[in-house]
Structure 1
Amino acid sequence: MKHPVDAHVGKRIRHRRWMVGITQQQLAEKVGIKFQQVQKYETGMNRVSASRLWDIAETLGVSISFFFEGLSGAETAQTSDMMNDKEAAELVRSYYAIPEAQRRRLFDLARVLSEAA
């Protein structure tokens, strides 16, 4: 039986992998495992060891804490619902495809526009 924390971590791995636009196979190759193992992690069927989670976090460009966000109830329902919206998810994915310097400018513009609204 899978533990809810393992399922949550797996869901966050899948979410981030999709956001950066890499396949299970590509993630597996970068961390030195088979893609079937990535599948098991993402479904929560297998637990991710600390060292493997470190490798996955490095590959996906996030801190390890990213995979645990939302477990303590700190994540709001609005944020959770927004990330389940395909349009919002596609926007975030496109955002991270932009080079960092341009992405920063876009972020600043979005902040100014949201404050003016």
Structure 2
Amino acid sequence: MLNASFDTPDGIVVITDKKFYAALGQRIAERRKSLGLTQQQLADELGIAQQTLAHYEVGRLRVAAALLPAFSKALGLSLDELFGEAAKAGKRGPAPKLQAQIERIGGLPRSKQRMLLDMLDAAINSANAQAA
């Protein structure tokens, strides 16, 4: 049964492929939710329909290989992490949610970026003053 397959309009899909895409979709959904994004927000960022994203998340559709880098960037995950591989030990850098927020800020107009950076500086200075 491991090698069982079924025909689809675009070719033969092995059952293990279906499990892979279901698991990939689950990881996408979990990560999207942990970032506080709606399906519509993520779909807009990727340039796809919300319903297409919903189908990806439940494994009903296969994610196109060309979309994988965009998913990786939008979700703040490496491709290895997106595919379910454990993050490498000792990996350093901002927390994934923080990284995603930084990338979203990078897409804002410069004046909005400056405003957010000023607010962030003030919050950090205040936290440092309280800790001292």
Deviation at 1:34, TM superposition (A): 0.5
Q: Deviations over 1:31-85 (max 9, x none)?
A: 1000000000000000001111211111111111112226xxx7xxxxxxxxxxx
CA drift of 1:96 comes to 3.5
**2:21·2:62 contact (CA, 8 Å) conserved in 1?**
yes
1:5 to partner: Cα distance: 0.2
- Determine if contact 1:7/1:45 at 8 Å carries over to the other structure: yes
CA-to-aligned-CA distance 1:14-33 (integer Å, 9 cap, x gap): 01101111000000000100
Q: Look up the match of 1:21.
A: 36
Structure 1 consecutive aligned stretches of length 4 or more whose deviation exceeds 2 Å: none
**Inter-partner Cα distance in structure 2 for 1:65 and 1:9:** 11
Greater per-residue strand proportion: 2
RMSD: 2.7
Superposition TM-score, scaled by structure 2 size? 0.52
Aligned length: 78
Identity of aligned residues (%): 37
Q: Confirm whether residue 35 of structure 1 aligns to residue 50 of structure 2.
A: yes
Question: What is the letter of the counterpart of residue 6 of structure 1?
Answer: Y
User: Partner residue of 2:90?
Assistant: none
Matched-pair contact (CA < 8 Å) for 1:41–1:48? yes
Matched with 1:96 is 97
For 1:112, the equivalent position in structure 2 comes to: none
Match of 1:60 in 2: 75
| Matches of 2:60 and 2:37, distance apart in 1 | 21
Unaligned runs of 5+ in 2: 1-5, 7-14, 87-95, 103-132
Unaligned ranges ≥5, structure 1:
75-94, 101-117
Aligned to 1:44: 59
